[in-house]
Amino acid sequence: MPEPGAGPRTGVWLVGARGSVATTTVVGAAAVGAGLAEPTGCVTASEDFPGARLPPLGALVFGGHDTGSVPLPVRAAELAESGVVPQRLLEPLEKAVVAADQEIRPGYATGRSGLPQAVAARALTVDIEGFRRRLGLDRVVVVNVASTEAPVPDRPEHHDLDLLEAALRGPADVLPASSLYAYAAFTADCPYVDFTPSTGARLPALDALARARGLPYAGSDAKTGETLVQSVLAPMFAVRALKVRAWSGTNLLGGGDGATLADPGAAASKTASKRRGLGRMLGHPVEGSVHIDCVPALGEWKTAWDHVAFEGFLGARMSLQFTWQGCDSALAAPLVLDLVRLTATAHAAGVSGPLGALGFFFKDPVGSGGYALTDQYEALRAFAAEAAAATAGGGPRT
């Protein structure tokens, strides 16, 4: 329980809590909180967010769901061996990593339990509520950092909350795992963040549930590499009046993400998310495609290569090529922390529904019509200032 007089405490419930992104997030927050690392890559730690009243990074408390059983300290050691997490951090942060590991509960996978999804959702909800109660937390933000799912077919119950809740009590699975987690989060009165391109909260029935309970949600599919660069370059071509004729990309990934995206269904979700904003930023449809290949030898690293064919004055044909190489977990973890801090502040300010102003972080943002990075950043700064002002009188709502 918190000490008497302590400020509001924020919990982070990670879906996919034993994965590389989640492990790096837990280690990173503890390292920054202990003064052992700088918050490099954390947008909300910059000078542009000085009075945003965000939860301190070092005060975040972690738990989560996962279908795997490898202990978090072992995952942290594996990431240190591969060069993602500095080896020097393991010993001083062991207590924090073990504490997070003790708060991880068995996760849910569609089609495996044999029980109605209403029963599974209730079990997930109880886990989240127990985490909040046990640790004396004022609020908990649920973040989906699990493996990408294949797209799901549209169903009538996805559009009506009453129909959905009735269907969940039946024998058939009506929600993918990501959406059942979103349902459980909202039922537990927790905001939800879709870090992946999985369906998650992007169903009308779940939007209705979030609004009815006064909860914010954000997503989807965080942009950490190739699409981040596209969100800067595509507006450049548009404002410079240079016609892009074709834009193609190839992505090479190792690790668990690469293995997941080797499945055509999961890859379809990712490639659709990657391409959706490009034509809108350019102002016209564009030829080209995105390819994703699993290369196990890359481990936790990824490489993206893009080729842009464009046309200049008098029809002169030109091209741009760029290569992005990075560690996916190290790029993603600070964004998870940013999203938790901003979503928690939105919840404290009484905001509900999709957080379009957090589109800065996503390839396919919900509740937002913009994709250009600079425009998204200004919207993010304005949102943070407004949320801070809303919570200034007497402190955040709990």
pLDDT at 396 over 50: no
Residue 326 DSSP SS3 = strand
Residue range 381-394, pLDDT digits in tens? 999 999 988 887 54
Tokens of 334: 């600070």
Residue 271 pLDDT: 75
Residue 4 pLDDT: 37
pLDDT at 2 over 60: no
| Mean pLDDT, residues 181-186 taken together | 98
93 sits in which H/E element: none
Verify cis geometry, omega within 30 degrees of 0, for the bond prior to 220: yes
| Mean pLDDT, residues 345-365 taken together | 95
Residue 393 pLDDT: 58
Picking from 124, 22, 37, 39, the residue whose alpha carbon sits closest to that of residue 76 is: 22
* Cα–Cα dist 386/351, whole Å: 11
243-253 vs 290-294, strand pairing mode = parallel
pLDDT at 6 over 90: no
Tokens of 258: 């690469």
Tokens of 63: 């738990």
Average pLDDT score over the chain:
92
Residue 110 pLDDT: 84
Listed by start position, the domains of the chain span 10-221+330-391, 226-326
Residue 1 pLDDT: 39
Label residue 255 by pLDDT band (50, 70, 90).
confident
pLDDT at 184 over 70: yes
* Cα–Cα dist 380/390, whole Å: 15
Residue with tokens 């503890």: 30
Q: What is the DSSP letter of 195?
A: -
Residue 7 pLDDT: 56
pLDDT at 70 over 60: yes
| Mean pLDDT, residues 302-326 taken together | 96
Instruction: Count Cβ atoms within 10 A of the Cβ of residue 356 and give its class: 0-12 exposed, 13-18 middle, 19 or more buried.
Output: middle
CATH superfamily of 226-326: Dihydrodipicolinate Reductase; domain 2 (3.30.360.10)
Looking at per-residue pLDDT, the higher value among 260 and 308 belongs to 308
The Cβ-side half-sphere exposure at 309, using a 13 Å CA radius, reads 9
pLDDT at 138 over 70: yes
| Mean pLDDT, residues 29-50 taken together | 95
| Mean pLDDT, residues 174-180 taken together | 97
Q: What is the DSSP string of 258-271?
A: HHHHTSHHHHHHHH
User: Contact 380/360 with Cβ under 8 angstroms?
Assistant: yes
Rounded to 5°, the CA angle 393-395-398 comes to 125
| Mean pLDDT, residues 61-89 taken together | 97
10-221+330-391 is classed CATH 3.40.50.720:
yes
Residue range 262-309, pLDDT digits in tens? 777 766 766 777 778 898 899 999 999 988 899 999 988 999 999 999
* Cα–Cα dist 185/128, whole Å: 7
| Mean pLDDT, residues 8-29 taken together | 96
Q: What is the DSSP string of 209-242?
A: HHHHTT-EEE-S-B--SHHHHHHHHHHHHHHTT-
| Mean pLDDT, residues 143-147 taken together | 96
Q: What is the DSSP letter of 365?
A: -
